[in-house]
A and B are shown apart, each in its own frame.
Chain A
Amino acid sequence: MKKFWCLFFMFWPIIGLIACAISPSMNWGFPYGLPAGSPLGERIDGLYYMILALVLIVFTGTQIGLGYVLWRGSEETDERAWYTHGSHSLEVIWSIVPAGILLFIALYQMDVWAEYRIQDNKNFPNQLETTVAEVTARQFEWRIRYPAPDRKFATRADLVTWLRNPQSDDLYSVNDIRVPAGKKVTIHLRTEDVQHSFFVPVLRIKQDAVPGKVIPVWFEATRADQYELLCAELCGWGHYKMKARVWAQSQEEYDAYLKQLQHDQFDDGVSSAENDED
Chain B
Amino acid sequence: MSTAHPTAQTGDLEHAAHEHAEHHELGFVSKYVFSTDHKIIGIQFLFTTLLMMMVGGALALAVRWQLAFPWQWMPFVGNTIFAEQGGQISPEFYTMLFTMHATVMIFLVIIPVLAGAFGNFLIPLMIGADDMAFPTLNMLSYWFMWPAIALFGASFFFGGGPAAGWTSYPVLSAIRDAAPGSGWAQTCWLLAVTFVGFSSMMGSINYLTTIINMRAPGMTLFRMPLTIWAMFITAILQAFALPVLTAAGFMLVFERTFGFTFFVPAGVIVNNAAPTVGGGQPLLWQHLFWFYSHPAVYIMLLPAMGMVSDMLSCMCRKPVFGYKPMVYSMAAIAGLGFIVWGHHMFASGMNPALGMTFMVSTMMIALPSAIKVFNWIGTMWGGRLQFNAVMLNCIAFVSLFIVGGLSGLFMAAVPVDIYIHDTYFIVAHFHYILFGSTLFGVFGAIQFWFPKMFGRMMNDTLGKWHFAITFIGANGAFFPMHMLGVAGMPRRYADPYLHPYLNHLLDMNRFITISAIIMGLAQFILLFNFVYSIFKGKKCGRNPWGANGLEWTAPSPPGHGNFDILPVVFRGPYEYASPLAGEDDFLMQTKFLPPEDRAKEAADHDEVEGKH
Contact = CB atoms under 8 A, between A and B. Distances in A.
Interface of A: 1-2, 5, 8-9, 12-13, 15-16, 19, 23, 27-32, 40-41, 43-44, 47-48, 51-52, 54-55, 58-59, 62-63, 65-66, 69-70, 72-74, 77, 79-88, 90-91, 94-95, 98-99, 102-103, 105-106, 109-110, 112-114, 116-118, 139, 192-195, 197, 199, 201-202, 204-213, 215, 228, 230-241, 243
Contacts of B383: 69, 73, 81-82
A211 B612 CA distance: 53
A112 B355 CA distance: 12
B395 A211 contact: no
13 contacts: A28-B508, A44-B416, A55-B407, A82-B318, A85-B319, A109-B359, A194-B171, A201-B488, A209-B349, A228-B500, A237-B92, A237-B94, A237-B180
Most buried by B among A23, A28, A32: A28
A91 B371 contact: yes
Contacts of A208: 347-349
Contact of A106 (B320, B321, B360, B423): B360
Contact of A237 (B95, B267, B377, B479): B95
Contacts of B494: 237, 239-240
Interface stretch (B80-88, B278-286, B521-529): B278-286
A4 B608 CA distance: 35
Contacts of A236: 95, 163, 172, 178-179
A113 B355 contact: yes
Nearest to B268: A211
Interface string B412-444: 111110110111000000000000000000000
Contacts of A209: 349
Given A73-B380, A85-B319, 9 more contacts: A47-B416, A55-B407, A63-B402, A81-B318, A102-B363, A204-B418, A204-B419, A212-B266, A212-B282
A30 B485 CA distance: 9
B563 interface: no
B279 to A, nearest CB: 9
A236 B356 CA distance: 31
B269 interface: yes
A51 B95 contact: no
A94 B419 CA distance: 31
A2 B178 CA distance: 57
Contacts, number: 319
Interface residues of B, number: 118
A233 B479 CA distance: 23
A80 B398 CA distance: 23
Interface in B480-524: 480, 483, 486-488, 490-496, 498-501, 504, 508
Nearest to B468: A8
A211 B387 contact: no
Interface stretch (B194-202, B292-300, B577-585): B577-585
B608 A85 contact: yes
B384 A16 contact: no
Interface string B248-281: 0000000000000000111111110000001011
A16 B586 CA distance: 38
Chain B interface secondary structure, helix, strand, loop or mixed?
A: helix
Contacts of A193: 171, 175, 178, 268-271
Contact of A95 (B175, B367, B381, B480): B367
Contacts of A2: 385, 387
Contacts of B180: 237
Contacts of B264: 211
A234 B373 CA distance: 35
B325 interface: yes
Nearest to B179: A236
B387 A1 contact: yes
A137 to B, nearest CB: 12
Contact of B410 (A48, A83, A90, A240): A48
Contact of B271 (A59, A110, A139): A139
B147 interface: no
Contacts of A239: 95, 492-494
A110 B422 CA distance: 21
A63 B399 CA distance: 7
B324 to A, nearest CB: 8
A30 B413 CA distance: 17
Contacts of A52: 410
Contacts of A55: 406-407, 409-410
A65 B377 contact: yes
B221 interface: no
4 closest A-B pairs by CB: A212-B265, A82-B382, A117-B352, A201-B488
Contacts of A84: 318-319, 321, 382
B9 to A, nearest CB: 35
A144 to B, nearest CB: 18
B378 A86 contact: yes
Nearest to A43: B415
Given A85-B319, A94-B371, A195-B282, A27 B504 contact: yes
Contact of A85 (B95, B169, B321): B321
Contacts of A237: 90-92, 94-95, 163, 179-180, 494
A182 B551 CA distance: 69
Contacts of A80: 317, 384, 577, 585
Contact of A12 (B347, B353, B475, B483): B475
A207 B418 CA distance: 8
A59 B95 CA distance: 35
A276 B27 CA distance: 89
B554 interface: no
